[in-house]
Structure 1
């Protein structure tokens, strides 16, 4: 199967938003299920596309998943600093997993980071239970950066995000 990676089109915002929301819900990554406030952020592809570059993986005319690439200094950055790009909200539809879409999306982000002036590193945050994503990141050369781990909700102790980084060569 040939997977193409390209910027999301406005007519795909709802599809990608639902793929992203369902990926997080089905994998048990949202503590409060459908009432989780972050779910709205996951579904709001138009907002992400206005602030960063949202990419989709497409095969046979169907969106399989997507990712948000935040260039250095972008408004959607969570943990990146000067000279660092960030990858956010990687999600692949459950039915499309294991076919290379996730890895292709991450590789496309790395290509964009390498092409950006002054970008020396790519960083990302992930939950400890996202083991399939961890395997992709590690296979592509990302290493754990535990000194950058953080809590998105300081008042909720059981949600902690793990940080990974890849220094570009």
Structure 2
């Protein structure tokens, strides 16, 4: 079996990205406190216009398994990143494809892309109650908690800030 391949999303991928992102957030219970957020998640064209949408595709058949949005400071989608930092948002893996390495491949691609762009760090916010497996993935990849970046976008949704220092140059 071939592992996932990460590439930049093409407009033809947008419907699959919208579907799987909303499905993944629903499956995790992340839309119960913010049902209107599904509209934002599904607007892949807007995300692609404000940053880079990356997709993990099945190496054998090209099916879209997951997606993530990478943004820089100043983007309308940047919630945490400051000058010189990149941020990834809306990381989602199709519930039917979870456990196949797509999430880790997408995070690694964000790390590599942020380094290519000359960023000093990569940040993400994660829901406080998110699955332990997601927290372990970020920890395994070197992300550390930064309480100063924690925030609450709406009541009942507590987000924890995580940061990964990147090498000064590659």
Q: Same fold (TM over 0.5)?
A: yes
How far the C-alpha of 1:109 sits from its partner, in A, is 0.4
Query: Following the alignment from structure 2 to structure 1, what is the Cα–Cα distance between the partners of residues 74 and 5?
Result: 27
For 1:13-57, what per-residue CA distance to the aligned partner results, in whole angstroms no more than 9, with x for missing partners? 111111000100111011257xx1111001110110011100000
Q: What's the counterpart of residue 32 of structure 2?
A: 31
How far the C-alpha of 1:9 sits from its partner, in A, is 1.1
Runs of 4 or more off by more than 6 Å in structure 1? none
Please give the root-mean-square deviation of Cα atoms over the aligned residues, in Å: 1.3
For 1:30-89, what per-residue CA distance to the aligned partner results, in whole angstroms no more than 9, with x for missing partners? 1257xx111100111011001110000001210000000112433320011111100100
Query: Following the alignment from structure 1 to structure 2, what is the Cα–Cα distance between the partners of residues 11 and 139?
Result: 33
Gaps of 5+ in 1: none
Query: Following the alignment from structure 1 to structure 2, what is the Cα–Cα distance between the partners of residues 128 and 99?
Result: 24
Q: What's the counterpart of residue 128 of structure 2?
A: 128
Gaps of 5+ in 2: none
For 1:85-137, what per-residue CA distance to the aligned partner results, in whole angstroms no more than 9, with x for missing partners? 001000001111111100000000000111113x1011111112222221111
TM-score (norm 1): 0.92
Q: What's the counterpart of residue 46 of structure 2?
A: 47
TM-score (norm 2): 0.91
